[in-house]
Chain A
Amino acid sequence: QVQLVESGGGLVKPGGSLRLSCAASGFSFSDHYMTWIRQAPGKGLEWISYISLSGDAMYYAESVKGRFTISRDNAKKLLYLQMNSLRAEDTAVYYCTGDGPYCSGASCFSWWGQGTLVTVSS
């Protein structure tokens, strides 16, 4: 059974940093693109970053470019999102997702974690 479990969310002050983790199980992690998607309170879904199979290629939304860094550890089956210089508008639930059996690359998202809430506030 596929599981994606996020952790690391919480309350942080503007300008602060957080590192999100996503523990994957139930599938061959290194065979799948992984993506972080977020959802601000009461708002829609926003793609923010995805990473290639080996981790040598990373892509970012303009809203987080230069502040967030995605990475993966295939041996440990972990996905990360390092978030620096956080702003109030980064407040959201952050979902770890995988392309899964129905999608290729980061074209769509078969698998979703339950999400972790990040709140940026003074």
Chain B
Amino acid sequence: SYVLTQSPAVSVAPGQTARITCGGNNIGTISVHWYQQKPGQAPVLVLYDDSDRPSGIPERLSGSNSGNTATLTISRVEAWDEADYYCQVWDISGDHPVFGGGTKLTVL
């Protein structure tokens, strides 16, 4: 089964840029999706197909995907951004979705 690796935690000061990575074997060849989850709430899709934003998601959130790493970049970080972030892909060999372990973003 395809494995996605995320760093457990990232900390950033308000106004700075946060980068949350998702590692996987040749992940650059498949689409990556990202979810934001705040405590006690359901996850929310914030990026799909590597870098597309659903309606209502701020332009400060962007994504890239190349080689063995996909990255969710959050510019001008705000307190609102503090949450857990999960990457997700489709495992072609297993014919099912796969999630990364999640990254907790702390806004200092």
CB within 8 Å of B: which residues of A? 35, 44-47, 50, 59, 61, 95, 100, 102-103, 106-110, 112-115
Within the complex, which residue of B37, B45, B96, B101 is in contact with A47, where a contact is CB–CB below 8 Å?
B96
Interface residues of B in 45-101 (CB under 8 A from A): 45, 48-49, 52, 54, 86, 88, 90, 95-101
Which residue from B31, B44, B52, B97 sits with its C-beta under 8 Å from A112?
B44
B residues sitting closer than 8 Å to A (CB atoms) are 31, 33, 35, 37, 42-45, 48-49, 52, 54, 86, 88, 90, 95-102
**CB–CB B99/A112 < 8 A:** no
* CB-CB nearest 10 A-B residue pairs: A108-B33, A112-B42, A45-B99, A44-B102, A102-B48, A47-B97, A107-B90, A44-B101, A102-B54, A110-B45
Tell me the number of A-to-B contacts counted with CB atoms below 8 Å.
Answer: 63
Interface of B is mostly: strand
Verify B96–A50 contact, CB threshold 8 A: yes
